[in-house]
Every structure is written in structure tokens, then in C-alpha cells.
Amino acid sequence: MPDDLDAARREIAQLRLELNRASAELEEFTYSVSHDLRASLRHVTAYVQIIKEDLGGNTDEGIATSLDTVSVAAKHMGLLIDGLMELSRVGHTGVNPARIDTSALLHEVMGTHMADMAGRQIEWNIAPDFPPVSGDPVLIRQIWSKLLSNALKYTRSRAVARIEISCALANHGLCVFHIKDNGVGFNPRFKEKLFKVFQRLHSATEFEGTGLGLALTRKIVERHGGTVWAEGDVDAGCDIGFTLPLFVEAGV
């Protein structure tokens, strides 16, 4: 029996070593690809600008439109690279859990989205109090920022946007959060696509974005031991739910 236990320990140690090596190689590969792609994008953007300057005021309307299209595409690719790097960092960076005042963090994040609310009529229904959670403050902030951004974006066509944020205690020391809106919603048949990289259920011409926000949200939630899901229907709003561990005082 001791020999079997030692063998199992050696196997686990070897697997951990291989996992760490693979993780380091993936991080190096991601950085390399990002660096090379950024260099190429800088060349594309620079040459588009040079062409515009060379043509001056004699630019044909069709050519000008084509050059603008190239510039927009290059900018969008830059955003995709940024998103992939962010996703990679979340997957490999250590989580530093701390006590998070959920209510304070949520209202702080809302303040950073004032530009998205300007000139709009928005009815907020926010629970009066949220329990503290245990998590990495930087990462948890990203969850709320991504989900608030989505709710504001997909209710933009509504005369009155309605956004509800609530929570409830669950089993196993978890708290369930919901952010619900009356926006354009989505086809429920494709709801699993929502949390996959580059999967969009609305065209880029309707709503801007890279298709990485919810994928990043899922990654962060899962790194905290939680789950995330979505409910909704076409033109009937969206309800994103996710769980996070409650903060428990030491010795309690």
C-alpha cells in the first residue's frame, strides 16, 4: 500500500509539472502571437495613413471608403487581440481572494458607465443590500463591468430601459446574482454560444463589441468556483445569473 501511495504521489507531481510547463508555453505562445499581430497591424494602419496623405484632397470617394474600411477592421482586430490577451491573463494569473463589499463595488462600477447612460431614460431596480463575497477585487470588478455594459448596450433601442440587479443566498456558501434587462434579448436555442469566444448572437452592425465579454465573465466566475448562465428570448430581454462564494469571517 505505501508503494502504491508513493507512486500515485509521484504521478500527481509529474502531472503538475507537465501542466505548469504547458501553461508557461501557452502564455509564451500567446504573447508571441499578440506581439507579431500588433506589429502587422501597426504597419497596416501606418500605410493606410500614408496613402491618405499622398492622395490628399484628390481621393476618390470609393477609395476613401475602402481605406476607412481597412482602418476600422485594423482597429477591431486590435480590440480582439486585447481581448484574447485579457482572457489569457485571467486563465493564468493567480486569484487573490479578499472580502469584497458587493454593493460598494457595484455602484462604483456603475459610475464608470455614466457615458453609456447619458441622455437615456433608465429605470434601475437594485437590491438594497448585497452580502460581501470572497474574490479577487480586480477580477470581480470586470464581471460587473462587462455585464453592466451589456445590459446598457442591448437596451439602447428601448424608450425606457429597465435593468434589475438582485441576489439570493444559495447552498454551499454561494450567492446567486442576477442582472436582468428588457433589451433585445436573444434566441434561447443558441444561449450556450453566449459564453464562447467570438460567438455573437447579434451582428456587429447592430451592436459593437468583440464577442469576448461574456467569455471573460465565464472564465472569471469559474476561477472563483462559480457558474454562469443566461435566460432570455428574442425581443424579450436577458437575464444573466452567476454564483460567487460568500465571504466568511475566519473562525466563524
Provide the grid cell at 8: 500515485
Domain range for 207: 98-245
- Quick one: 37 and 108 in the same domain? no
Calpha distance 17→13 (Å, rounded): 6
Q: Is residue 173 part of a domain?
A: yes
User: Is residue 67 a part of any domain in this protein?
Assistant: yes
Domain count, the chain: 2
Claim to verify: residue 29 and residue 44 sit in the same structural domain: yes
Distance CA(84)–CA(95), nearest Å, equals 19
Question: Which one of 92, 118, 142 terminates a domain?
Answer: 92
**What mean pLDDT value characterizes the chain?**
79
Same domain, 88 and 110: no
Domain final residue pick, 92, 122, 138: 92
Q: Residue 219's pLDDT is what? A: 85
Residue 48 lies in a domain: yes
Q: At what angle do helices 213-223 and 137-154 cross, to 10 degrees?
A: 150
- Environment class of 140 (CB within 10 Å of its CB; exposed 0-12, middle 13-18, buried 19+): buried
Per the domain annotation, does 250 fall within a domain? no
How far apart CA 234 and CA 60 sit, in angstroms, is 42
222 and 143, same structural domain? yes
Percent of the chain whose pLDDT exceeds 70: 75
Model-level pTM? 0.68
Mean pLDDT to the nearest integer, 7-27? 70
Verify that 28 and 152 share a domain, yes or no. no
Examine the domain organization and report whether 129 and 9 are in the same domain.
no
In a domain, 54, yes or no: yes
Q: Are residues 146 and 51 in the same domain?
A: no
Do 129 and 223 lie in one domain? The reply is: yes
pLDDT mean over 128-155: 89
Top pLDDT among 36 and 170 is at 170
Looking at residue 91, what is its pLDDT? 60
Q: Is residue 234 part of a domain?
A: yes
Asked, for residue 251, whether it belongs to a domain, the answer is: no
164 shares a domain with 108: yes
Largest Cα–Cα separation, the chain: 85
Q: Are residues 155 and 126 in the same domain?
A: yes
The secondary structure of the chain in percent helix, strand, coil, rounded to multiples of 5, reads 55, 15, 30
Q: Are residues 161 and 46 in the same domain?
A: no
The CATH code of the domain that includes 189 is 3.30.565.10
Express each pLDDT in 31-51 by its tens digit. Answer: 666 677 777 778 788 878 888
152 with 40, same domain: the answer is no
Chain centroid offset of residue 118 CA: 23
Contact residues for 181 (Cβ-Cβ < 8 A; gap 6+): 151, 154, 155, 161, 162, 163, 164, 237, 238, 239
Percent of the chain, pLDDT > 90? 21
> Does any domain span residue 178?
yes
| DSSP annotation of 247 | P
- Which of 92, 119, 152 terminates a domain? The answer is 92
**Counting Cβ atoms within 10 Å, is residue 11 exposed (0-12), middle (13-18) or buried (19+)?**
exposed
At residue 94, the pLDDT reads 66
